[in-house]
Amino acid sequence: MKELKKQIMELLQQKLSVYGFKKKQQDLLIRTVKEGNVVQMIILGFAHRERHRISVTISFGVIYKNINDEGIKFGEANHLIYYNPMECIHIGYLMPQKGYHAWYFELNGDPQAMEDNIRDVASTIIQYGFPYLEMLSNEDNLINEIDRTSTTTYKGRIIPIIYHMRNEKERALQYIEKSIKKISKGFTKEDYESAKRLAGEDGYFIMVENNALKYYMEFVENFKRILNEENTD
């Protein structure tokens, strides 16, 4: 199976290299746009629940280097270490059926069938993934998508950081206050839907309160402390 995964990745990279995508990890293709600031990502997921067959899923995401640098100042994790996207989506939710989608490859299968399958993967990426990546490469669109799809505890951190970077400090504080109110009520329906979407069709997840407000308030206190230090300077 390891050799089949490698073969799939190499064939897909060949199809997408003309668009500037390069292999970064075993399951990741990336290219940089916007003068090198935005990393666009094509993320492959492999599963082999059947002995002679492997399934391949595709997700898309982005990392903004300037937002990443700003987030590190506020104690956030470095997205570029493990290429953890700031926002991402499974390809099936960009397609007409709006649900889980995968391709299947047979171990020691017909070479022509594999070539046809790879061609279909690449064309689907180009048709549905490329427009999404371009949309996310606009900062305002990134904010809107994070606000629309992400959990309150995540968007309540990254969106204020983006506003701070844009020198919209009052807007950042307003968003924080809104997030505190939501987290105080516990997990919302949108938090559940976001976790479900990220887990995928057969994914398993548990929603645990886990002192969410306590940990978020630690971020808030640090955020306000940095703002106060900037104001005194």
Averaged pLDDT, groups of 10, the chain, 233 residues long: 92 98 94 98 93 95 98 96 97 96 94 96 99 98 97 96 97 97 77 65 56 91 95 82
| CB contact set of 111 (below 8 Å; sequence gap of 6+) | none
- HSE at residue 133, side-chain half, CA atoms within 13 A, is 28
Q: Where are the strands (E) in the chain, listed by range?
A: 22-25, 28-33, 38-50, 53-64, 87-90, 103-106
The pLDDT value given to residue 187:
63
The pLDDT value given to residue 159:
99
The pLDDT value given to residue 208:
54
Q: What is the pTM of this model?
A: 0.88
The pLDDT value given to residue 175:
98
For residue 188, how many other CB atoms are within 10 A of its CB?
Answer: 13
Per the CB < 8 A criterion, the answer to whether 179 and 155 are in contact is yes
The pLDDT value given to residue 50:
84
The pLDDT value given to residue 51:
83
